[in-house]
Amino acid sequence: GDDNGIDSKGGFEGSLRARLGYAVTPEILLYGTGGLAGRSLKVEDSVLGASDTATMLGWTAGLGTDIKLTDNVFGRVEYRYTDFGSKSFDGIGKVKATDNRVTFGVGMKF
């Protein structure tokens, strides 16, 4: 985003998570997920002419559900909060990065 001449751009983002769930019915699985998260972030200050890129590491946690659509296909809805922590960027200062995300998906069982 842009704020007083400061612009940030995210690069790669990924997570390594575990999932623990409970089958409420044979068709519905509710689960919690959590683990490590990482992201690259480039921050630029157009007023000062400063720019820096860093890899930020933190944690992520969320809740979701898998719902059986057919014998081999399921739908998924998941919410995750991610805290990538704080990092000092040269010439710019300290930046804290967080993310709230809802994802939807379809999967197949083999």
pLDDT, one tens digit per residue, over 25-39 is 999 999 999 999 999
How do the domains of the chain map onto residue ranges?
2-108
Q: Confidence class of residue 7 from pLDDT cuts 50, 70 and 90?
A: confident
Query: What is the chain's mean pLDDT, rounded?
Result: 91
Of all residues in the chain, what percent carry a pLDDT higher than 90?
65
Where does 6-72 show beta strands of DSSP type E? 6-25, 28-45, 50-68
At residue 13, the pLDDT reads 92
Q: Which residues contact 66 (CB under 8 A, 6 or more apart)?
A: 21, 28, 29, 31, 74, 75, 76, 107
Question: pLDDT class for 3, splitting at 50, 70, 90?
Answer: low
Domain 2-108, CATH class in plain words: mainly beta
